[in-house]
Structure formats: structure tokens, C-alpha cells
Chains A and B, each alone.
Chain A
Amino acid sequence: MAAQSKTAEPRTVAAPDQTPVRKGLRAVTGSVLAKRIGFYLVAGWAAITLNFLLPRLMPGDPASAVLLKMSELGPVSPQREAVIHRLFGGANSGPLWGQYVAYLGGLFRGDFGLSIAFYPTPVTEVVRSGFWWTVILVGTATVISFGIGTTLGVIAGWRPGRRFDSVASPLSIFIHSVPYFWIALIFVFVFAFKFGWLPLAGGAGRDVVPGFTAEFIGSAVQHAILPAATIVVTSISGWLIHMRNMMASVVNEDYVLLAQAKGLAPARVISGYAARNAILPSISGFAVSIGMVVGGSLLTEMVFNYPGLGSLLNQAILNLDYPLMQGLFLVISMTVLVINFIADSVYVLLDPRTREVS
């Protein structure tokens, strides 16, 4: 993190006074956004192709491993066998190019085969059951930790070397290095096992009927507190360190000094002049960070047996459920791409230079 900020040139933009919304609207029709859309389409295609190529390049034969597993669970019809060969290749599946076309065709029909861990439920259905659990958990936790972490980073970086900074920065380096799942284990041990304040595992109480009832939502929130706290505590430090370093290099810029010399209130100088410029790299560095947060969250879910994509991935690994694994990888990487695209678009709105350069 810190290594990346080193290369970032000091930002020297004065606080812009044009309305960003109007300029942003112009950018929507402009080529910047079109370029970004193109880029993310290519990235999505790369993820799909990777998913196609990996089982075919790996030593061993995933297709026959899957078929063996399936035959243990029940008779395998020729159609189902064909689906497995379309997804994973294997013997007698023809030239690679033909396989690729068939594979893409299957994807567009939304056909990912049957899950083995949850045989014979289709993969799409299994993935759908976990998707919103993860999106809501990780989304909420990320928004909270980005907010708190960035705010603390602003405070630490505004007066580098002072008391708050000298405690917060080394502490966050330490927390940043702690694996997510280990913090999760400690939290379970302390808060759920020792004190019994919060539930040990799961997404909601077993006896609660899912639905838009106060009881279910209350139970779900209660179950989400510990996993969310794990993600927030571990990911806060990354945002903090990043923001602290950018802030520390921005505070001596001329436009900040000028704002102070004009006699503006410190709060206004910090938020409107220093932090406004310092936050830009945090948003452009979102891609690397969000990937790490999502990865860590998947591991966190496994500890809590939370009914999201992470626990499904765990099930898939333990049961050698390659169809489910493929489906999960596709959904996770596509979701991360969409989030990145949104972050990119926000960046275009916030930084006028990205619109002018093009």
C-alpha cells in the first residue's frame, strides 16, 4: 500500500468550483466512459476465457473427476455428461476452438451444469442462494470501513508525527497484516464462545422463517454483526494508511497553505482542500483494495459458516465440486468488475483532469 503511494506524484489541483455533476454528465456521453466500458468488457471476457482454459491446462482431468463424483451420486445421463465435457473439456471433446464456442453458448444460456455438493441442484440456483448474503454483508462492511478508515487517515495525516498519528499508524500496519480468518477466529472465540454475546455461526436463526419480517431481519442483523466487524476491523487499516500518506504529502501544498492564510476554519481547510485532493488515489486504488477485501471476506464467511458465496466456495472445495467452483469464480469476478467500473465512474466525476486529458 505504502509502496504504491510513493510513486503517486503529489496532487496539485485546486478545489474545483464547477458543479461536478454537470461536467460528469458531459463525460457520460464523452469517450472516457466509453473507453472504460470497453475495458471492462474485455476484462470480463478475459475472466470467462480464463475460466474456460484453466481446467483444460491443468494436469489431471477435472472432467473425469467430476463424472466419477456424479456417478457415485446417481446415474449420469448422456446429456449431463455432455455438459461436464463442455465445461471442463476432457477426452474426445473435439478441437479447442469448437469447445470454446460451445462453452460461451452455454454461458449465455445461463447453464453452468449441476452442483455436486448440492446434487442435483443447478449451479446457478446454488450461487443465487448465496449471492445477496455476500453482497449485503461485504457491501455494508466495506462502506463502513472506507468511511471510518478514510476519516481516521485524514486526522492522522493532517498532523503527521503527532500523538494520534504515532499510535494509529503503527497499529494499523499491524492490523493490516493480520489474516482476516484469524481475526474471525478470535472474534468467534471471544464474543461468541467465551461471552456468548452473539451467535456462533449461520446467517439467521434456524427457527426463523426467511422473509421481510422484523423477526427475520433482526436475526439476520444479529448474525451479521461479527462477520461484518471482522471485515471492518481488518480492512479499515488499509484505507487509513493510504489516506494518511496522501494527506501527509498534501498538507504542505501551496493551496492548503493559502486556504489557511485566508483564515478559513480548519474543518473547511481539511475537508474542502486537503482531503478532497488526497482522497483521489484512494478511489483509483479501489481495484486492488476491493479484490483483497472480497478475498478476505470469502475466508471470513467460512469461519462463521455464513450462507454466502464464501461458504459455498468452501463446500465446493471440500466436495471437489468443480462446476460450482467455476460458477462462483465467474460470479465473484464479474461482481468485482462491476464494482470497479462504478468506482472508476465516480473517479471521473471527482477528478476533472480525467475528463480534460482525453
Chain B
Amino acid sequence: MRPDWLGALCRIVWPRNRKVAVGLVILLVLVAVAVVGPVLISMLLGQHAGELHAGGSLEPPSGRHWLGTTTAGEDVLAQLVTGTRTSLLVGLTGGAISTGLAVLLGVISGYSTGKTGAALTAFVNIFLVIPGLPLLIIIASYTQGRGGWIMVAVIIGLTSWPGGARVKRAQTLSLRNRDFVQAARYAGESKVRTVLFELVPHLAPLIASTFLFAVVSSIAAEAGLTFIGAGNPTTISWGTMIFWAQTQGALLSGAWWWFVPPGLCIALVGTAAGLINFGVDELSDPRLRGRRAGGRRKARQVPAAVVEAA
């Protein structure tokens, strides 16, 4: 006996594509963990991330320590939950900076003709072929972990935009000569207005998917950076957990509960993003869906809410 409006709401918000649905659920759970997890763990289990000797050294998972303990006796579950918060924050900050730069450079280099456009295009292409991770490592090691996770996130954002910019540029190039853009130009709209109100709305789904992947790759970049010791090892994130597990010899003590969960979490975020993107791609391009699946179900439009949420 569900009220009618609830069903209607579900139909609008709930994506029909199974891949998108699974991806969204994973992301929502992780965000919920990041927001309330640390409080919940300390209330229910009495564990805190930074607390040394909460248990013995390298205890395997038990009823008291669900994911065991580290060499210093810290509770791994509490660290994982706090790490979720840090890693997601790094991901969101780095992803936002990277996406912002990608949109700015991609759209301008694709839209403007003449010398500015050519120069910007060359700029984007050059940074596309210079490998990002070594550059990131160099810059991060010059800063020596100053500024905590925010600094790390900013550096990641500043070095990870080229891939996204290339995609935006390609899409802008294909949009700029469409009728509605030309019409705006002939109607005497200013360049800025044409770009912001005619072009960018058409790029929105692409920007959303770039952002999603920028978040994921920022999380992975932070983990990689911390893992090699160029990050800030005193913050608790998924990356620092693996870093400490490796340096404290968790591997050779057989303490899998220390380094397996954070890696799985990173993979989980990436999988969620990949599933959402895959699903949205299938919805917008029926060819990717496959003949059988496409034939059985009618092609359905992706609800706008999903695209924005992604």
C-alpha cells in the first residue's frame, strides 16, 4: 500500500539501469560512512582512529576489533572509517580543481580561434604527453607534506587536468559550429555569454562524468603519493594506511586485515564511478547496450536527476 506520490518519486529519482543503480548505492554508502562513520564507530564500538594501544599489536579481526589492529594496536576499522572521510575530501577537492581547469582550458582552447586557441591547444597537448604521476611526485616532494591533505589535494588537482581538457576540447569543437551556437553569435551575444549559456549546458553530462573520474583518480593519486612517502603520513587516509602497513611489515607478518580493506575501498569507489559512467553511456548510446538487451527493453531516457547526481 505505497502512496502514489512515493512511487512517482522513486520512478523519477531511481535509475532504471542496473549498473547506474549499483554504482550510486556504493557511492551513497561510502559518503554516509565518511559523514557519520567516525562518530558511529566511537559510539557503538568505543574505537577511535588515532588511539594507540586500543588493543594488542597486530590482533586479527575479532568481535572487539572487527578489522583487527595495527602494530601500534590501533583499531583498523576506526582508521578505515576516518580514512574514508579524508580520502573522499581529497578526492572531491582535487576532482573539483582538476575538473574546473579541464573545463576552462578545454572549452576556451576549443572555442576560440586564432592565436589564443592555437596556443592553448598546444599547451593542453604538451601537458597531455608529460606523464602526470612523476610530475605530481616531484612537486609533492618539494612541499614536504606541508599543508596537510588540502595541499596534497591542490597539487593533485593542478596536475591531473589534461585528460579531461582534451575531452572537453573535442566536444567543444564539435558543438561550436552547430546552429544554436551560430545563432547566438549572429544575434550579437558576447563570447562569454555564448559559451556559458549555449555551450556549457550541452557539456554538462560530460563535465559530470569527468568530475566523477577526477574524484576517483585524485583518491588513487593521494594513495599512490602517500604510499611512496611523498604525502603527509600523519593524516589518516586509505593511502597512509597502506603506507604504514607496508613500512611496518604487515605483509611479512601476514596481517592482511591491515592492507586489504583500504585497497578494496579505493577499488570500490572506482568501480562505482565506472558503473555509473558505463550505465549512462549505455543509456545515451543504445549501440553500447547490445542487441539482445536493447531489443528486449525499450530505450529509456536517463532521468536528468541521475546525470546531475553523477
Residues of A whose CB lies within 8 Å of any CB of B are: 2-9, 39-40, 42-43, 46-47, 50-51, 54-55, 58-60, 62, 159-162, 165, 169-170, 173-182, 185-186, 188-189, 193-194, 245, 248-249, 251-252, 287-288, 290-292, 294-296, 298-299, 302-303, 313-314, 316-318, 320, 322, 325-326, 328-329, 332-333, 336-337, 340
Contacts and interface: CB of A to CB of B under 8 A. Distances in A.
A295 B270 contact: no
A116 B129 CA distance: 29
Contacts of A5: 281
Given A160-B289, A317-B137, A193 B170 contact: no
B131 A333 contact: yes
B287 interface: yes
Interface in B127-151: 127-135, 137-139, 141-144, 146
B38 interface: no
Interface in B167-208: 167, 170-171, 174, 206
Residue from B128, B162, B288, B292 with most neighbouring chain A CB atoms (10 Å): B288
B285 A6 contact: yes
Nearest to B243: A181
Contacts of A177: 216, 220, 266-271, 273-274
Contact of A59 (B143, B278, B289): B143
A8 B287 CA distance: 14
A179 B174 contact: no
Given A165-B290, A291-B130, A295-B224, 9 more contacts: A6-B206, A7-B167, A7-B174, A162-B292, A179-B267, A186-B260, A248-B288, A288-B163, A337-B129
Contacts of A160: 287-291
7 contacts: A7-B171, A7-B174, A160-B289, A182-B242, A299-B228, A313-B228, A336-B129
A325 B274 contact: no
Contacts of A318: 229
Residue from B142, B206, B256 with most neighbouring chain A CB atoms (10 Å): B142
Nearest to B171: A7
B259 interface: yes
B164 to A, nearest CB: 8
A58 B144 CA distance: 10
B223 interface: yes
Given A46-B126, A332-B131, A336-B130, A2 B290 contact: no
Contact of B267 (A174, A181, A245): A174
Contacts of A3: 167, 206, 209-210, 213, 277
A299 B224 contact: yes
B251 interface: yes
A170 B190 CA distance: 45
B116 interface: no
Interface string B280-310: 0100110111111110000000000000000
Contact of B129 (A193, A194, A287): A287
Contacts of A325: 137-138, 141
B263 interface: yes
A176 B278 CA distance: 13
B246 interface: yes
A329 B277 CA distance: 33
B170 to A, nearest CB: 5
Contacts of A9: 174
A165 B290 CA distance: 9
Q: Which 9 A-B pairs have the closest CB atoms?
A: A161-B290, A177-B270, A295-B133, A182-B263, A173-B274, A160-B290, A291-B131, A58-B142, A178-B267
Nearest to B291: A161
A5 B167 CA distance: 9
Contacts of B138: 51, 54, 325-326, 329
Residue from B130, B133, B227 with most neighbouring chain A CB atoms (10 Å): B130
B78 interface: no
Contacts of B143: 58-60
A59 B242 CA distance: 28
Instruction: Give chain B's interface residue range (CB within 8 Å of chain A).
Output: 35 or more
Interface of B: 19, 122, 125-135, 137-139, 141-144, 146, 162-163, 166-167, 170-171, 174, 206, 209-210, 213, 216, 220, 223-224, 227-230, 242, 245-246, 251-252, 254, 256, 259-260, 262-263, 266-271, 273-275, 277-278, 281, 284-285, 287-294
A332 B287 contact: no
Nearest to B131: A291
B126 A43 contact: yes
A40 B122 CA distance: 11
A4 B230 CA distance: 30
Nearest to A297: B133
A178 B290 CA distance: 27
Contacts of A295: 131-134, 224
Contacts of B167: 3-4, 7
Contact of A302 (B166, B171, B228): B228
Contact of A2 (B127, B162, B229, B277): B277
Contacts of A326: 138
A354 B134 CA distance: 31
Contacts of B174: 7, 9
